[in-house]
Amino acid sequence: MAGESGVGGARLLSAVGALRAAIDDVTFPLDLPSADAARLTRRRLLAQLDDYVIPRVASLDAPLLAVVGGSTGAGKSTLVNSLVGREVTLPGILRPTTRSPVLVHHPDDERWFAGPRILPSLARITGRHNASDGPGALRLVPTDAVAPGLAVIDAPDVDSVVEANRDLAGQLLAAADLWIFVTTAARYADAVPWVLLREASERGASVAIVLDRVAADAVDDIRTHLASMLREQGLGTAPIFAIVESSLHDGLLPDDQTDRLKGWLAALAGDAQSRAAVVRQTLDGALDVLTGRVEEVVSATEAQRDAARTLADAASSAYGQAVDAVRDAVADGTLLRGEVLARWQEFVGTGEFFRQVESTVSRVRDRFAAFLKGGPAKADELGEALQSGVATLVADRAEVAARTATRAWHALPGGEQLLSTHPGLKRPSLDVDERIARLVRDWQGDILTMVRSEGRDRRTTARIMAYGVNGLGVVLMLVTFASTAGITGAEVGIAGGTAIVGQKLLEAAFGDQAVRDLARKAREQLVERVEALYAAEQTRFEGAVSTVQPETDHATALRRAAAAVQEER
Ligand SMILES: Nc1nc2c(ncn2[C@@H]2O[C@H](COP(=O)(O)OP(=O)(O)OP(=O)(O)O)[C@@H](O)[C@H]2O)c(=O)[nH]1
Ligand SMILES: [Mg+2]
């Protein structure tokens, strides 16, 4: 670690602080399967940084903090009292006894513990312990009985039936430079303490074991067995202090049973180098596992990002399909049915007529011209039928797209959640009909502009004037809707004839090539307008997604911050 010189420590501290900020920034707004675990990992990471890594890096020379942990009734409070030589923490026969942790330190070390440097979430209390002390506070006990440079915490039980106790014990152990793990001859193979010991081993924390309440003649056997269990968990270097079952005097263990542990702790406290080694081991271990834990958070943020993307894609594909459907329908003759066809027949007669006149284009033209001049009201009726056909098509497809996107979201991770917060999404937006009406009017405007601008030379202009701009516009709309004429079945004759006779007329006015271009352009303009309208509809889905999409790239920020910490070690 680069922390030996003041500079390295400062740089590591700022890297760790930046990592903390990056972790703090992360949210998991979508309730994905991975989110719960990731939220917990995030909270634990923050707690470990706040309770241990940051305060430790900030003051490498602060006293070594030893946390006495273990199962309820193992004798933790009795041990701490015995180390101090008087009752500083309340032992008891009711399980669990210790609810509020007690920190014992040398009076000279008070400044390290009185403030929020470590365990900032726990209020400090002083004075004599009290049976009503709760889990939200840390009782500080200054005493000459412990050496300067070492503080001991009596923690609540790790496997408590009381959840607050368990959580607090976990938090305290995470804040420890050294775990003094108390177990008994009867319970040293219990599962829960071993889960914690394994965690300590994985984190590389410094651990010492107190094997309490052992019958004198069983000490060797149990110690050997426990040592082999510790080795299996990668804790082979943890010293074991066995305490023989004895009767207590004034609630304290006999001195001869605690002397070895007292001596070991005093030596540790008195020797800056071995104290630093213990601190270094635990800090290094904590920094080692940091990257892996951060990576868990990273993959959960990536899962959030991917889910958000998939939701946005589903909406995009639904509206893409809607545009395609409109594009097909405006070209394949679909719109030349029903009402439109009826108006057209009133306008120019029946399919039979078209078939007959196909060969005699001039007659068509004459009749047509006469009709356009004589019946502007009929041309308007046809125009309206065409417009309402377009409007209905665009509205239907908008409805289908909203339903398709909604159905996709129901099946996608996170989709249900967004639909419940944005219930309007399952229908098109409220003013969609108005906007479609405007779209159709605007498109009609496009068509009239095109018709007018075709009058480039005088002859064309004269012809266009002869037929009338509005009438030609209506016929152009009609031809636009049949220009690929993918019409089948019984309507072929009628609708096909419809297109052909309209086309002949337009050719007479504009010339052959111009008609094909005009029809193509008219169709493109309509599709463009529909695309814009559907894009606006789709935006509502994107808006919903954006509420769960972080603005910053958390994954990259986290990885960078974690790498920076590793570089400064
Ligand atoms: N005879 C005898 N009794 C002990 C010994 N150690 C602890 N006890 C008793 O066992 C009971 C539990 O001891 P505590 O020290 O309160 O245990 P603890 O681990 O602090 O328990 P929690 O605070 O509930 O987690 C108390 O009644 C102690 O007096 C021992 O070595 N010998
Ligand atoms: Mg206790």
DSSP 202-225: HHT-EEEEEEEEE-GGGHHHHHHH
State the CB neighbour count (10 A cutoff) for residue 236.
11
Q: What single-letter amino acid sits at 525?
A: Q
State the CB neighbour count (10 A cutoff) for residue 124.
14
Atom of ligand 1 nearest to the CA of 212: 31
Q: How far is the CA of 184 from the centre of ligand 2 (A)?
A: 14
Closest CA to 531 of 392, 333, 394, 332: 394
CA distance 130 to 96: 15
Pocket perturbation via mutation, ligand 1, pick of 71, 76, 78 by most ligand atoms within 8 A of CB: 78
Q: What is the DSSP code (8-state) at residue 33?
A: T
Q: Whose CA is nearest to atom 24 of ligand 1?
A: 96
Q: Whose CA is nearest to atom 12 of ligand 1?
A: 73
Q: Is the CB of 377 under 6 A from ligand 1?
A: no
Residue for token digits 């609810």? 99
Residues in the chain: 569
Q: Is the CB of 301 under 6 A from ligand 1?
A: no
Ligand with the closest atom to the CA of 81: 1
Q: How far is the CA of 410 from the centre of ligand 2 (A)?
A: 51
Q: Whose CA is nearest to atom 16 of ligand 1?
A: 91
Q: How far is the CA of 175 from the centre of ligand 1 (A)?
A: 24
Atom of ligand 1 nearest to the CA of 94: 24
Give the model's pLDDT for residue 523. Answer: 92
Q: Which helix (DSSP H) or strand (DSSP E) does residue 154 occupy?
A: strand 150-154
Q: How far is the CA of 172 from the centre of ligand 1 (A)?
A: 20
Tokens of 383: 């125009």
pLDDT digits (tens, 9 = 90+) for 469-511: 888 888 888 888 876 544 444 444 555 566 677 777 788 788 8
Q: Is the CB of 193 under 6 A from ligand 1?
A: no
Tokens of 449: 């502009």
Q: How far is the CA of 78 from the centre of ligand 2 (A)?
A: 7
Q: How far is the CA of 212 from the centre of ligand 1 (A)?
A: 10
Q: How far is the CA of 298 from the centre of ligand 2 (A)?
A: 38
In the sheet that holds 137-142, the strands lie side by side as 123-125, 137-142, 102-105, 150-154, 64-70, 178-184, 206-214, 240-244
CA distance 63 to 46: 22
Closest CA to 300 of 43, 53, 51, 546: 43
pLDDT digits (tens), the chain, 569 positions = 443 434 348 999 999 999 999 999 999 999 999 999 999 999 989 988 998 999 999 998 899 999 999 988 999 999 999 999 999 988 877 777 888 899 999 999 999 999 988 888 899 998 877 767 777 889 999 999 999 999 999 999 888 778 888 888 888 888 899 999 999 999 998 888 898 898 888 888 899 999 999 999 999 999 999 999 999 999 999 999 999 999 999 999 999 999 999 999 999 999 999 999 999 999 999 998 888 999 999 999 999 999 999 999 999 999 999 999 999 888 777 787 777 877 776 766 554 444 444 444 555 556 666 656 555 667 778 888 899 999 999 999 999 999 999 999 999 999 999 999 999 999 999 999 999 999 999 999 999 999 888 866 667 777 777 677 888 888 888 888 876 544 444 444 555 566 677 777 788 788 878 888 898 999 999 999 999 999 999 999 999 999 998 888 999 999 999 999 999 98
Tokens of 448: 């009239």
Q: Whose CA is nearest to atom 26 of ligand 1?
A: 92
- pTM for this entry: 0.76
Q: How far is the CA of 397 from the centre of ligand 2 (A)?
A: 70
Q: Is the CB of 101 under 6 A from ligand 1?
A: no
Q: Is the CB of 404 under 6 A from ligand 1?
A: no
Give the model's pLDDT for residue 99. Answer: 83
Q: Whose CA is nearest to atom 7 of ligand 1?
A: 75
Q: What are phi and psi of 380, to 5 degrees?
A: -65, -40
Q: How far is the CA of 144 from the centre of ligand 1 (A)?
A: 24
Tokens of 3: 């922390």
Tokens of 362: 């001039």
Pocket perturbation via mutation, ligand 1, pick of 93, 95, 97, 129 by most ligand atoms within 8 A of CB: 97
- Three-class SS state of 92: coil
